[in-house]
Structure 1
Amino acid sequence: MKTTFAYAAALASALLLAACAGGPQPPDWQLEAKGSMDRSVAAYMEGNSRVEMAELGRARVQLTRSGRADLLATAELLHCATRIASLVLDEPCTGFEKLREDATDAQRAYADYLKGQIQPQGIALLPEAQRRAAAGDAAAVAGIADPLSKLVAAGVMLQAGNASPAVITQAIDTASAQGWRRPLLAWLGVQLRRAEQAGDAQEVAKLRRRIELTQGMPAPAKPQTP
């Protein structure tokens, strides 16, 4: 059994442990922590903050049983990555910062990356999928397969002012394909503001209709013909 820390790309699918073929079954607390984090991420992206925080709390309880700050830091980074993916860019990663001193160098680099404050020497410590994005290469986003990683990279780029229209479209398409209402609305809002600034009335109207649909608002009734 080995521990996997591949923030963003692998965090959602293998938060804590990936059992080697034929290896021993992970202890219950690890499985429960991973399950809770998976549910926490899904709930947040779907717009259910109450369930998200309840599941995050359960994961934290399980992880503290290990007495390892790096394991808990992994969960806190995943929690914060969902915010960047959803363009909540002004919320501090408080849970991780409390653990920063005992976190790994790679974890500290990833936390700085999420804040848009990573130093050049820290880029090599990031997951491979994020390195080019951290260097400002907008084309790198298209090559990221994992949906959460793609949205995180796009969010970091937007934060730095490097998000091209193509990056925004990729973020919208990614959130839409996953059924992630919260980031979809956030990225549609970005596209709407740009359309408004460009004076594209037709695109503005189209985006507003899509936002209303995503929010679950009923479509206007068709007028009845006599």
Structure 2
Amino acid sequence: MQTLGIDLAASPKKTGVAWLEWSGGKARVSKLVVGAADDELVEAMATAHKTGIDCPLGWPREFVDFIVEHQDDHVDVDPGLAADWRRRLSYRTTDLYVKRAVPGIQGLSVSADRIGVTTMRCAALLSQLAARGLAVERTGSGPITEVYPAASLVRWGFDHKRYKGTKAQPRRNQLVDELQSAASWLELGEYEEDCRASDDALDAVLASMTARAAALGLVEPVPAGSQVAAATEGWIALPRSGVKISELAASG
């Protein structure tokens, strides 16, 4: 099995992409790049067994409805409900689910933070995939799934804090060491230094590992009451509670 992990950014320059080959109880990083244009990403996603994208696959339904209504009229809100109303406009059902399920995790708002620009790029990529006949299910049931590397780290027993940025290399080095100790079957090979030097590279590897978890059914299912929201807003593939990282390599 080949999984692909994409740490998507608004610009190609900061986009990390990792290919992992799974065989014989091991996972080998066969290719890792930081810097990928849209056509390269589409081609890679079209050939991978499962792709994990670190980027929202959609916007909150209530936010979309709000924008449409605002175009035609003014929107009135009961002052007593304003805070909760803004929260529902800002965060998707999956964002709120992950926040409740994973202590210490607070995702970005796709409708109120800069991640929205990256999501615009993602939407265009998904459209190109659909035009090629590749079914894109935002619930993650198809070959594409949304991932959140920080949440995956927590579920696998790692500290997700302070490993991002140019000044965070000491912590990133530690995290890579911890990851290799816990997952001795993971072969970073010539790309180990890239993971230590760049959080974009490391997140791409983590995204690819989460894609593997999703392919094996080792992620939390979409709750029955959230299926409709997941189909339009997207759903984060969250590794199941209690599943050990070693289970990723348990089968071929």
Q: TM-score normalised to the size of structure 1?
A: 0.26
- TM-score, normalisation: structure 2: 0.24
User: Whose strand proportion is higher, 1 or 2?
Assistant: 2
Q: Which has the higher helix share?
A: 1
Higher relative contact order (CA 8 A, sep 6+): 2
